Amino acid sequence: MKPPTIMLVEDNDANRELMEDLLDVAGFGVAAFPSGEEGLAWLEGNTPSLILMDINLPGRDGLALTREIKARPETAGVPVVAVTAYAMKGDRDRILAAGCDGYLSKPIDVQQFPAQIGHFLSNADCGLRNAE
């Protein structure tokens, strides 16, 4: 059986490499991109099981990208989880209101990260908003 593919959009090289390595070791397929535009181009011919989206990206931010992904019929049902340093009061609600299905704050917990992603995947059919 093919492992779930996670699309990762993260502009910080160190963060992207860390998350990509953790997901790879955990057995997930990973398609990682340093920009939203590259991620959107990849989505033209691919459908991931889950999208991990940085919010603070150059150009269009992760919330604008999430809205675009959710507006496309072919990707509307793909869960998007924000992975962000935005952790102030109200940020989580603002991120979920923009269309993200889940929220993880940075810095990530390297011990828990793969299990958190597995949890999001296992709850995809019953709604990630209540998975945390």
Question: What is the domain count for the chain?
Answer: 1
Q: How far apart are CA 40 and CA 79, in angstroms?
A: 15
Average pLDDT, the chain: 90
**Is the per-residue pLDDT at 58 higher than 90?**
no
Question: At a CB cut-off of 8 Å and minimum separation 6, what does 96 contact?
Answer: 103, 129
Cis amide leading into 114 (omega within 30)? no
Which pLDDT score is estimated for 130?
Answer: 37
Residue with tokens 């209540």: 130
| pTM summary value | 0.90
What mean pLDDT do residues 8-19 have?
97
The pLDDT of residue 88 is 75
Distance CA 103, CA 97 (A): 11
Instruction: Quick: pLDDT tens for 91-115.
Output: 889 999 999 999 999 999 999 999 9
CATH number at residue 80: 3.40.50.2300
User: Greater confidence, 42 or 58?
Assistant: 42
CA torsion 48-51-52-56 (nearest 10°) is 130
Taking the C-alpha atoms of residue 34 and residue 58, their distance in angstroms, rounded to an integer, is 10
